[in-house]
Chain A
Amino acid sequence: MLDPDSGLSLTIARIVQRLKGSSLHSQLERQARVSLHKPEIKLESLKEDIKDFLKTSGWEKKLQNAVYSHLSVFPSPCHPAAPPEHMKEPLAYMRKAQGSWEKRILKSLNSMCTELGIPLAQKRPASEQKELLNKWNEMGTDEPDLSLFRPVYAPKDFLEVLMNLRNPNYENGDQPSFRNHLGLIQVPLKVKDIPELKEDFTELGLNIGQLGIDDSAQVPPEFFENEHVRVGQKVLAEQDSAAAQQYVRQGCPTALRADLWALILNISNQPEDILYYEQLKSNVIQHNLLVDSLIYKDVKLTASNDDYYFVFEDYLYQVLLCFSRDTSVLEHFTYSSATPPKSYIRGKLGMEEYAVFYPPNGVIPFHGFSMYVAPLCFLYHEPSKLYQIFREMYVRFFFRLHSISSHPSGIVSLCLLFETLLQTHLPQLFYHLREIGAQPLRISFKWMVRAFSGYLATDQLLLLWDRILGYNSLEILAVLAAAVFAFRAVNLMEVTSLAAAEAVLADLSTLKVMPLLQIFLFATVT
């Protein structure tokens, strides 16, 4: 009696509308026109023949991938009576909390601007432009004095905000009761329990081959690895995004990872994409933004100090500076709870027609932001491709890690999922840590906000990100965080302070991600 067809038709209409403006559309059109000269295209069966041609020449696959990518990124359309902000975030109190958090960030940014007497943006003099262009590939050698700059916020500040998040319609008594959560997060979101997670992450099961476990030196490669690599090559040859996404759930062979991820994210690095990147680059060269200094500072403080990533310092500047100028990133604000900040042209404060988004991409970087890019540098050496992959990863996943929303992959849900998993499966440990004032989330929050980048060894991190892409979800981060606590439970039961607990969990670089996840999800008796 319901009409699911019309729901589908609206989604189709939206995708068609979106694809019409894309270069794929014009390419398809061009190909169809060219095909008219082919002898196998008959006038009497024109439509069918062209369809066949597009299918055999691989263009149909490209269209399928574009549609699939759209379906993965954009949420299904919400109810027509709902206002646009409902699509950003359905819960009013979450929207409000995100709004006031943004105000705080802006205030901090503005006060830094005023203190240092630096404008938000200014045109570089010609000599400086030339200089920057010359040293574009070695920006890391530059040592500007950034001692006065400070990161706008760090994950710790963000955690404080999340801890104070309350639903005004929820009975939050001061007394401990069954209504209060025992962790730091006090919002009653629905999070999955282990049986539900088991069902979602079926492919991580004990009897299914995994890269990260079954490719270790003790296991002969003919058991799993060889076959898995062969299948991977086949998936790549087929150029099918959906198949690639299913495939990476069991992990990507190192040699195929770059191509498989690009296929899943539908990034092909066409000439026009390279041109777009070059335009962004020239924007960077022409104008100096205040956020540039924040990016410099962040890279210097994080990636440059990291044993794995310091070599990529120059790449990071290139990608992040271009990212800050990319207005196409603004599109993700239609489905993100965040709203891009606006600034006004000097002397026109408050006049909407003189308002511009600042920074142009609407994203103010925080302490650790560059760690979202760093692991990708291992996979892509061409800056324009690296850039596109990062942008796509950001608008699909990473933005959720620093905005307040009720989305299952949003940071609030991840925190709650982590706390719930730990509390239900390691109640003694959870209670012990809570009693000594070492709330587990205080330790794991920074891991999750950075998607574990900079904490795990890179091979392990990439195996973890394989699963993020494969399941199109960040929930695995919370599961891993809980699994790490479970793994170190014996040591943690001994500690008596937050500092000691932090010390136990300070070094995650020796951990093997996949066995931890597998044991926590599938081999723990509940």
Chain B
Amino acid sequence: MGVLVWGIPALLWGVLVWGMPLPVQEIVFKNFYTAFLSVRVQRPGPSGSRRWVTSLRDLCLMPCPHTEQGAQDYFSLHRNQMLCDMDQVTAVRFILRQPSPVWLQFSIEELQIFPPGQKSPQKDFPSWLSQLTPPEQPASLHGLPDPEKVSTEVQQMWVLTEVIRTRQAAARIGRFDVSSTILLRASAWLHCQGSLPEGLLLAGWGFGVSL
């Protein structure tokens, strides 16, 4: 699985695995330029097998992915926000998406997972920044933006063409450059702190580049 946007990976995933099934109450982390977060959890299925279940789909962390809003904010995910039962979790997979190509790296940091009863810093505290998972909607076929808005934004393009014309150089616009960002992005890392159950293992943290 993986998505390429203009030659730059737009999707990363990381997996946290621990040996025995444990309940999860809350996940706290600091965002670093991730626009959307999905969480899948592994749970024991029938006859001892383990199944991956989606527990959170495309939570929007950056309302406008090209700009800074929410880019370095702290977030909490509560079990009551999850789409599935979080009682018997053996592994969690975080799937990070960033459709905007302007950021060199994206990741989540200071990840903490709290079992029920453990005092998170959130005690008596609301989930300010966590938001409801949006209901799943089929991809909109009427997704064309407001033409008026486009026309105002197109001015930037117009100036660019002017700039290039006046310089009379075969300047690269740089849009389709496959740059070293892929390597940079591969170094996206996951930072774990105390409070995780014992036997935790950082199993894999990769990025998708296949089309």
Contact = CB atoms under 8 A, between A and B. Distances in A.
A21 interface: no
Given A81-B112, A431-B162, A193 B149 contact: yes
Interface stretch (A47-55, A212-220, A391-399, A421-429): A421-429
A406 B68 CA distance: 8
A431 B112 CA distance: 49
Interface in A162-212: 167-171, 173, 175-179, 182, 187-190, 193-195
Contact of A169 (B73, B76, B103, B153): B103
A43 interface: no
Contacts of B156: 178, 182, 423-424
B153 A424 contact: yes
Interface of B: 28, 30, 32-33, 63-64, 66-69, 71-76, 78, 80-81, 101-105, 110, 112, 121-122, 124-132, 148-149, 151-153, 155-160, 162-164, 166, 171-175, 179, 181
A7 B103 contact: no
Interface size range on A against B = 35 or more
A349 interface: no
Nearest to A90: B72
Nearest to A4: B126
Contact of A3 (B68, B72, B127, B151): B127
Contacts of B78: 2
Nearest to A94: B68
A7 B126 contact: yes
Contact of B159 (A10, A91, A171, A182): A182
Interface of A: 1-10, 76-82, 86, 90-92, 167-171, 173, 175-179, 182, 187-190, 193-195, 406, 423-425, 427, 430-431, 434-435, 526
Given A81-B110, A189-B67, A424-B155, A170 B103 contact: yes
A326 B73 CA distance: 33
A423 B154 CA distance: 10
A91 B68 contact: yes
25 contacts: A2-B81, A2-B131, A2-B132, A9-B124, A77-B128, A80-B125, A81-B28, A81-B30, A168-B104, A171-B104, A171-B181, A175-B171, A175-B173, A175-B174, A176-B164, A178-B157, A178-B160, A182-B156, A182-B159, A188-B66, A188-B68, A425-B152, A434-B159, A435-B166, A526-B152
Given A3-B126, A81-B28, A193-B152, 5 more contacts: A2-B131, A80-B121, A169-B104, A171-B179, A188-B68
Contacts of B64: 190
B192 to A, nearest CB: 14
A288 B129 CA distance: 47
A177 B104 contact: no
- Which 10 pairs of residues, A with B, have the shortest CB-CB distance? A7-B126, A79-B74, A190-B67, A6-B126, A427-B155, A424-B152, A80-B121, A177-B174, A82-B74, A190-B69
A427 B132 CA distance: 40
Contact of B74 (A81, A178, A406, A435): A81
A77 B121 CA distance: 14
Contact of B72 (A77, A91, A427, A526): A91
A28 B127 CA distance: 33
Contact of B103 (A81, A171, A195, A526): A171
A114 B85 CA distance: 67
Contacts of A427: 155, 158-159
Given A170-B102, A178-B156, A188-B68, A79 B162 contact: no
B157 A2 contact: no
A79 B31 CA distance: 12
Contact of B172 (A1, A6, A167, A175): A175
A453 B153 CA distance: 32
Contact of A2 (B33, B68, B127, B151): B127
